[in-house]
């Protein structure tokens, strides 16, 4: 994974060719700005594995959200990742190659318009995976933020007299205006009313998002790869403003390079910890063994737990605080010997 923007397919192709010349293969993790049917088709042509969030602008993709909503209540839709619970529905999306360019196509019910022609087109298209995901926590936050903004607009405008009501209303954010309408009574007083239909739409879509991935990508691989992108992005966001990766600058080039190196090692360690825990949980689920104390831990949870193991230094002796069951489980999972107290041997 390389940080930076991939503006178009030509930039992507040159980047991939350069990496392949170095003997590097991997997974492309991009953001919503890159996602469209033409770019996805280019990735398929090159045989590149990818994870990309969808902007859900195309109608076939939007319909997947409506379709998924009907099955989100099933117990089979429950998934876990990094200590959070999600509802997930998986679908296939075809990439149709037409004279006008590429477009998305999905399998339709027979009762839907143009079902026969669309399904025939879908059957002969290359496919990608689409994960339609509902995050209950994000859904609550989305609605809280929306209602807070709407209530603030009502407090500012309702019952007031404005010289230019239309201009005042236009100053509101677009997502707020789409839920409200305004009027002025005979006394020149401004009134604000809510559009109920728009609230129904938002409540149905709150907390939902779609992730695209190449065929054969599992839920865990998709989520973990996007987590990796977030970590790298946050790390390099610091470096954009502080070249040495620290708020306390240094004029020593060697020290700056060392900090870059340490940060990169930390990212590699986080990725390794996450993958190890994920594989451990999959092994336990497949063998139907009882979950141990390490299951369910996030990367941050692992680091916090290990932080409870303290070293007490005394003259000529090192003493450890008693390691908890979870600490012992973490050491065992990573094939490490449990540290023990003892005398300091001086050579």
pLDDT interval class at 154 (50, 70, 90): very high
The pair of structure tokens assigned to 50 is: 């990818």
Q: Are residues 187 and 287 in the same domain?
A: no
Q: Indicate the number of domains in the chain.
A: 3
Tell whether 275 is covered by a domain: yes
Q: How many angstroms separate the CA atoms of 262 and 4, rounded?
A: 20
pLDDT > 70 in the chain, percent: 87
Q: Are residues 24 and 105 in the same domain?
A: yes
Mean of pLDDT over the chain: 84
Q: Are residues 272 and 324 in the same domain?
A: yes
pLDDT interval class at 242 (50, 70, 90): very low
Strands of 317-320's sheet in order across: 311-314, 317-320, 342-343
Q: What is the mean pLDDT of residues 262-273?
A: 82
**Cβ–Cβ < 8 Å for 201, 138:** no
Task: Supply the range of the domain harboring residue 169.
Answer: 140-204
Q: Are residues 16 and 123 in the same domain?
A: yes
Tell whether 234 is covered by a domain: no
Tell me what pLDDT residue 254 has: 78
**Cβ–Cβ < 8 Å for 213, 50:** yes
Q: Are residues 114 and 30 in the same domain?
A: yes
Kindly state the helix (H) or strand (E) to which residue 43 belongs, with its residue range.
helix 37-46
Tell whether 295 is covered by a domain: yes
pLDDT of 238 over the 60 cut: no
pLDDT of 346 over the 60 cut: no
Q: Are residues 29 and 126 in the same domain?
A: yes
Query: Which conformational region is residue 170 in: left (phi greater than 0), alpha (psi within -120 to 50 degrees), or beta?
Result: alpha
Tell whether 258 is covered by a domain: yes
Last-in-domain residue among 180, 204, 228: 204
Q: Are residues 247 and 264 in the same domain?
A: yes
**Cβ–Cβ < 8 Å for 28, 93:** no
Q: Are residues 128 and 145 in the same domain?
A: no
pTM of the model: 0.65
pLDDT of 345 over the 70 cut: no
Q: Are residues 116 and 41 in the same domain?
A: yes
Q: Are residues 153 and 114 in the same domain?
A: no
Tell whether 224 is covered by a domain: no
Q: Are residues 78 and 155 in the same domain?
A: no
pLDDT > 90 in the chain, percent: 37
More confident residue, 111 or 184: 184
Tell me what pLDDT residue 316 has: 64
Q: Are residues 252 and 322 in the same domain?
A: yes
Least confident of 49-58, 68-77, 230-239, 301-310: 230-239
Q: What is the mean pLDDT of residues 203-220?
A: 91
Tell whether 185 is covered by a domain: yes
Tell me what pLDDT residue 1 has: 45
- List Cβ neighbours of 169 (8 Å cut-off, separation of 6 or more): 157, 177, 180, 182
Tell whether 190 is covered by a domain: yes
Kindly state the DSSP code that residue 161 receives in the 8-state scheme: B
Tell whether 148 is covered by a domain: yes
Q: What is the mean pLDDT of residues 51-73?
A: 90
């Amino acid at each position: 994974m390389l940080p930076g923007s991939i503006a178009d397919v030509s930039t992507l192709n040159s980047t991939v060719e350069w990496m392949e010349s170095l003997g590097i293969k991997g997974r492309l993790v991009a953001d919503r700005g890159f996602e469209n049917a033409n770019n996805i088709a280019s990735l398929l042509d090159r045989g590149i594995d990818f994870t990309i969030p969808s902007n859900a602008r195309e109608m076939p993709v939007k319909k997947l959200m409506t379709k998924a909503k009907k099955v989100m209540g099933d117990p089979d839709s429950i998934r876990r990742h990094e200590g959070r619970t999600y509802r997930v529905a998986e679908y296939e999306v075809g990439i149709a190659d037409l004279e006008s360019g590429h477009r998305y196509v999905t399998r339709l019910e027979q009762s839907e318009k143009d079902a026969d022609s669309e399904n025939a087109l879908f059957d002969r298209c290359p496919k990608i995976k689409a994960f339609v995901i509902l995050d209950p926590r994000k859904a609550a936050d989305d609605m809280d933020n929306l209602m807070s903004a709407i209530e603030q607009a009502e407090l500012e405008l309702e019952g007031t007299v404005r010289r230019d009501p239309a201009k005042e209303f236009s100053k509101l954010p677009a997502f707020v205006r789409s839920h409200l309408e305004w009027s002025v009574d005979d006394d020149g007083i401004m009134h604000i009313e809510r559009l109920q239909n728009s609230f129904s739409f938002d409540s149905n879509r709150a907390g939902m998002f779609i992730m695209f991935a190449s065929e054969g990508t599992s839920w865990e691989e998709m989520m973990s790869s996007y987590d990796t992108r977030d970590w790298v992005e946050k790390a390099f966001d610091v470096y954009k403003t502080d070249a040495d990766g620290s708020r306390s600058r240094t004029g020593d080039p060697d020290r700056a390079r060392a900090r870059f190196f340490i940060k990169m090692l930390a990212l590699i360690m986080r990725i390794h910890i996450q993958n190890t825990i994920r594989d451990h949980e999959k092994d336990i689920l497949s063998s139907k063994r009882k979950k141990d104390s390490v299951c369910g831990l996030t990367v941050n949870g692992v680091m916090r737990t290990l932080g409870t193991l303290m070293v007490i230094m005394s003259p000529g002796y090192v003493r450890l605080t008693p390691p908890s069951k979870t600490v012992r489980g973490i050491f065992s999972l990573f094939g490490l010997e449990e540290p023990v107290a003892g005398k300091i041997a001086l050579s």
